[in-house]
């Protein structure tokens, strides 16, 4: 996951992640991408569109 510079760490993405894979720190986000199933819900709910799925 690409976390854009304007992410404000509000944690809404973590709240909707069905697999509880997002750790919200005071000024960083940690994605446990190993278990991510690309549901994209986190990208969709972000109030400022700060998340982008990495193409791999």
Least distance in Å: CB of 55 to other proteins?
21
49 binds other proteins (CB under 8 A): yes
State how beta strands 29-31 and 22-24 pair: antiparallel
8 binds other proteins (CB under 8 A): yes
Confirm or reject binding of residue 44 to other proteins (CB under 8 A). Answer: yes
Which residues make up the interface to other proteins (CB under 8 A)? 8, 10-12, 14-18, 20, 22-26, 41, 44-49
């Amino acid at each position: 996951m690409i976390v854009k510079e304007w992410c404000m760490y509000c944690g809404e993405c973590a709240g909707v992640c069905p697999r509880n894979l997002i750790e919200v720190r005071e000024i960083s986000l940690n994605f446990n991408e190993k278990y991510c199933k690309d549901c994209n819900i986190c990208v969709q709910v972000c109030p400022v569109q700060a998340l982008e799925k990495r193409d791999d």
